[in-house]
Amino acid sequence: MAPSNHPLRRTHTAALAAAILLGAALAVTPVRGQAADPEVARLEASLAEANARVASLRTQIAQRQAAAEPSLRPMVAGAETRHTLTLTPSSTLDMMTAQLVAWSIVGHLPGGAVGTVQATGSMRPLFDEHALLILESAPYDSLRVGDIVTYVHPATGQLVVHRLLEKRGDNFWPKGDANGRMDNAYVTRANYRQRVCGILYTHQG
């Protein structure tokens, strides 16, 4: 008799097929909507909270690093001056000591002088009324754009200390560093007086 027709062989094969089907049925993924494990849900919530905390810490680190490093963005021309109009340098010198130092320097400058300015703030932040200016009698032809000079304003007769910003013919157009516009008078050969060659800062208290 052929083995394929043996009754025990057929019974064994049927049982094996049933076991396979049963195993497949047991291995089926649970249908959606089935209640999730509460512990798994708790762990997933903790993980989401930890990820949010990590993201927050990364943001704080980036902000601190950005604050500690100099900005790479170029500053708009003139912005620094606008932001520091009230800030002028100082030193440990009191006014009397500064005057002694200034006059000792001026003694080596033919025609030199020591000057102060009124509390107008027009030359801040470079200097203000707390500074002493050392003045030299430089020839008019040696002046150039960028120099700070004293000149007599033709309308008011006041002695002004401003910077030469533009040359027009034989005249210069001055401006106070902190002022928003150029002076309404030129520096000429006739009204020019002296050039600033040094600044002594004093203790401002």
Report pLDDT digits (tens) over 45-98: 899 999 999 999 988 888 887 776 665 566 666 666 666 777 899 999 999 999
The angle subtended at Cα 89 by Cα 88 and Cα 94, nearest 5°, is 115
Q: Report the C-alpha gap between 180 and 201 in whole angstroms.
A: 25
Band the pLDDT of 21: cuts 50, 70, 90: very low
Indicate the pairing of strand 192-200 with strand 132-136: antiparallel
What share of the chain in percent tops pLDDT 90? Answer: 60
10: pLDDT strictly greater than 50: no
Least confident of 7-21, 54-68, 95-109: 7-21
Question: For 3-11, what is the mean pLDDT?
Answer: 42
**18 or 124, which is more confident?**
124
**Mean pLDDT of all residues in 96-113:** 95
Chain segment 134-178, per-residue pLDDT in tens? 999 999 999 999 999 999 999 999 999 999 999 999 999 999 999
User: Residue 85: helix, strand or coil by DSSP?
Assistant: coil
Residue 171 sits at φ, ψ, to 5 deg, of -105, 160
The one-letter amino acid code at 85 reads L
**pLDDT on residue 62:** 81
Instruction: Give the dihedral of Cα atoms 191, 196, 202, 205; nearest 10 deg.
Output: 50
**Interval 112-137: pLDDT, tens:** 999 999 999 999 999 999 999 999 99
Task: Give burial (CB, 10 Å; 0-12/13-18/19+) of 126.
Answer: middle
* Mean pLDDT, rounded, of the chain: 83
The residue among 80 and 110 whose pLDDT is bigger is 110
Assigned CATH for 95-200: 2.10.109.10
